């Protein structure tokens, strides 16, 4: 087992195996089996390109050989930053087969995040597209190569320039496959983060594949399913709930949308006879608006999932009438626990709750600040442990003592209430994070960047309400001198290579922060201040 990855205690491992949760499968093995069983069936559609299970399996073998030739081996970490293209799957499965670990960066990450992932994970390689959505990723490759000494290879899909072209790495399989154990770590997923930088989440073949199997059952995914991936597939939600990997596990077909907009996605739903897709709440709003004026045949579409951030009941109610399919709410986290509303749940449950845990082996507790269970139905912090929820982050010993209870429950940082039928409603958050329409921002990470500016004496970032994204970010700043502007600070963050979604939407200059009785900056008060300011400015505009 990779160093720095806490695991389940022995008795839990035995229990999850005995109960049949962990069946001893590996990602490399699954693809091989699907290729045997489904050979010519299409696994992935991307534009005009259709890749069958057999073709995918073969290309994965060839690429694994290419990676081996570069010296990439078991337990090596490889930062993978690819958009929704077939190469994402070829790269990941080739790494899985070698026992090398993808570290899943998102396409929106920039040099600040990428360099940190490469450095912290001690990555040997970094894999990128040439260009995507108007951005040239090779510039990130150059920076990473300069800044991160452990990084040996930058591999590019497309025009590789001075780097290694992925297309040159498909070689005839010659070498032996390493032995991969189902209890090995398969990859490192990213946490949304609340303290400082994103933590890395070690997921095993056994635990993740279990979550795919249960997700498939709950979402009725089988070999006839067609999953449209509109969100970036590296994110845990479209990757696994049941997402692209759940679809491949079931022998279904994944259709990749180059962008989430109705322009691209709606015609794909009709043309490819999509049966299920997954959205975040702001995208659901855009789709609801767009469907009013467009006419497509959506008769194959059975389910639209919405998750990643709180979906308001008023909007949730509009999905079924507008699209003629069922809504499924998904409340999950890359650390593990995923809750779903069930497809045959009563309408009011689907609209008003964020679902219930997918597995009977998920343990959840709703507790107060002293870790005591709250009264049934009351709001408290959600703690969880189970067969696919990690017991600790990668190389984060100290943080793990705070993020997990001594008996192994993960502190989700979500404030929830649990109803008498076991369904959860997300009521708020007790972590220093902004959820910008599903994109997570760790306040402390951005604050630290702001503090690096000469003119910034102190900074505190909080969420402010937003009708479209749910939340946007507001930075309260105490400046050292009067003439620094909000735009200067935003540009400064951009120049430091911070992902655009993390750049504060608004900057408020103040002379002092409100404090709690314990002397900490009161973010609650700051959230109130900005919310009131927004309301009153709206009133004056009436």
Centroid of chain to Cα 324: 28
Contact 128, 141 (CB under 8 A): yes
Which residues lie below 8 Å from residue 96, measured CB to CB, with a gap of 6+?
26, 27, 28, 102, 180, 186, 187, 205
Judged by beta carbon, residue 67 or residue 423, the one nearer ligand J2J is 423
By beta-carbon proximity to ligand J2J, the closer residue of 115 and 240 is 240
Taking the least distance from each CB to ligand J2J, the nearer of 99 and 307 is: 307
Omega of the bond prior to 286 within 30 degrees of 0, cis? no
**Closest to ligand J2J by CB, 240 or 479:** 240
Closest distance to ligand J2J from the beta carbon of 321 (Å): 21
**Cβ contacts of 524 within 8 Å, gap of 6 or more:** none
Q: Supply the minimum distance, in Å, between the C-beta of residue 409 and ligand J2J.
A: 14
State the Cα torsion 56-47-111-452 to the nearest 10°: -130
Six-digit token pair at 407? Answer: 């008996």
Q: Which of 354, 389 has the CB closer to ligand J2J?
A: 354
Catalog residues that contact ligand J2J under the rule CB under 6 A.
Answer: 192, 236-237, 240-241, 307-310, 329-334, 338, 354, 412, 414, 426, 429, 435, 440
Q: Indicate the residue among 257 and 305 with the shorter CB distance to ligand J2J.
A: 305
Q: Write down the least CB distance from residue 414 to ligand J2J, Å.
A: 5
Q: Encoding tokens for residue 211?
A: 């979550």
CB–CB of 188/121 below 8 Å?
Answer: yes
Q: How far apart are CA 411 and CA 394, in angstroms?
A: 16
DSSP code of residue 165: E
CB of 40 to ligand J2J, least distance (A): 31
Question: Between the CA of residue 432 and those of 89, 194, 471, what are the distances in Å?
Answer: 33, 5, 13
Contact 349, 423 (CB under 8 A): yes
Residue closer to ligand J2J by CB (options 121, 212) is 212
Judged by CB, which is closer to ligand J2J: 112, or 353? 353
Q: What is the DSSP letter of 373?
A: B
Q: Find the helix or strand (DSSP H, E) in which 69 lies.
A: helix 53-69
The least CB distance from residue 185 to ligand J2J, in Å, is 17
Q: Tell me the closest approach of the beta carbon of residue 328 to ligand J2J, in angstroms.
A: 10
Phi, psi of 396 (to 5 degrees): -145, 50
3-class SS letters over 4-52: CCCCCCHHHHHHHHHCCCCCCCCHHHHHHHHHHHHCCCEEEEECCEEEE
CB 450 to ligand J2J: min, Å: 23
Nearer to ligand J2J, 86 or 215 (CB): 215
- As measured in angstroms, the least distance from the Cβ of 139 to ligand J2J is 26
CB of 389 to ligand J2J, least distance (A): 11
The first and second tokens of residue 52, run together, are: 């069958």
Quick check: helix, strand or coil at residue 87?
helix
CB of 497 to ligand J2J, least distance (A): 21
Q: Name the closest residue to ligand J2J (Cβ).
A: 332
Nearer to ligand J2J, 116 or 237 (CB): 237
Dihedral (Cα; 339, 20, 206, 309), 10-degree rounding: 0
**Which whole-number Å values give the CA distances from 542 to 465, 470, 528, 536, in the listed order?**
19, 22, 21, 10
**Cβ 430 to ligand J2J, closest distance in Å?**
10
Nearer to ligand J2J, 463 or 475 (CB): 463
Give the N- to C-terminal CA distance of the chain in Å, as an integer: 62
Q: How far is the CB of 384 from ligand J2J (least distance, A)?
A: 10
Nearer to ligand J2J, 180 or 416 (CB): 416
Judge whether 446 and 193 are in contact, CB under 8 Å.
no
């Amino acid at each position: 087992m990779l160093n720095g990855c806490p695991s389940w205690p022995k008795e839990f491992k035995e229990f999850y195996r005995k109960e049949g949760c962990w069946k001893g499968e590996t990602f490399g093995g699954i693809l091989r089996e699907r290729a045997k069983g489904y050979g010519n069936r299409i696994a992935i559609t991307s534009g005009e390109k259709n890749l069958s299970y057999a073709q995918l399996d073969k290309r994965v073998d060839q690429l694994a050989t290419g990676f081996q030739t570069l010296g990439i081996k078991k337990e090596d970490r490889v930062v993978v930053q690819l958009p929704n293209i077939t190469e994402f799957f070829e790269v990941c499965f080739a790494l899985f087969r070698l026992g090398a670990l993808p570290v899943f960066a998102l396409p929106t990450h920039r040099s600040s995040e990428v360099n940190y992932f490469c450095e912290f994970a001690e990555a040997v390689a970094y894999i990128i597209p040439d260009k995507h959505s108007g951005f040239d990723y090779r510039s990130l490759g150059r920076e990473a190569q300069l800044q991160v000494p452990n990084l040996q290879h930058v591999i590019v899909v497309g025009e590789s320039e001075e780097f290694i072209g992925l297309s040159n790495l498909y070689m005839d399989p010659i070498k032996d496959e390493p032995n991969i154990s189902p209890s090995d770590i398969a990859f490192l997923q990213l946490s949304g983060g609340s303290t400082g930088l994103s933590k890395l989440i070690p997921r095993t073949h056994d635990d993740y594949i279990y979550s795919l199997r249960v997700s498939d059952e709950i979402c009725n995914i089988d070999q006839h399913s067609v999953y449209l991936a509109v969100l970036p597939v590296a994110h845990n939600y479209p990757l696994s709930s049941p997402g692209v990997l759940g679809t491949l596990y079931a022998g279904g077909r994944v259709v990749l949308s180059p962008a989430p907009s109705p322009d691209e996605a709606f015609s794909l739903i009709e043309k490819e006879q999509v049966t299920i897709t997954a959205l975040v709440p702001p995208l659901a709003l855009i789709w609801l608006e767009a469907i009013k004026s467009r006419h497509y045949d959506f008769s194959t579409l059975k389910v639209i999932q919405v998750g990643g951030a709180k979906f308001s009941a008023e909007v949730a109610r509009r999905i079924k009438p507008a699209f003629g399919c069922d809504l499924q709410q998904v409340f999950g986290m890359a650390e593990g626990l995923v809750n779903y509303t069930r497809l045959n749940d009563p309408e009011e449950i689907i609209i008003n709750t964020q679902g219930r845990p997918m597995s009977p082996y998920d343990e959840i507790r709703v507790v107060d600040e002293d870790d005591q269970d709250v009264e049934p139905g009351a709001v408290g912090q959600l703690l969880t442990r189970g067969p696919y929820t990690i017991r600790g982050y990668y190389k984060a010993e100290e943080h793990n003592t705070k993020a997990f209870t001594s008996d192994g429950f993960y502190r989700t940082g979500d404030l929830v209430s649990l109803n008498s039928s076991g369904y959860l409603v997300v009521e708020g958050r007790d972590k220093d994070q902004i959820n910008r329409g599903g994109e997570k921002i760790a306040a402390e990470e951005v604050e630290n960047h702001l503090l690096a500016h000469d003119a910034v004496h102190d900074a505190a970032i909080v969420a402010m309400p937003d009708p479209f994204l749910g939340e946007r970010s507001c930075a309260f700043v105490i400046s050292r001198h009067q003439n620094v502007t909000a735009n200067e600070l935003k540009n400064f963050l951009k120049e430091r290579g911070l992902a655009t979604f993390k750049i504060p939407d608004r900057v408020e200059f103040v002379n002092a922060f409100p404090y709690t009785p314990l002397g900490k900056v009161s973010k609650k008060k700051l959230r109130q201040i900005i919310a009131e300011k927004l309301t009153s400015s709206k009133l004056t505009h009436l």
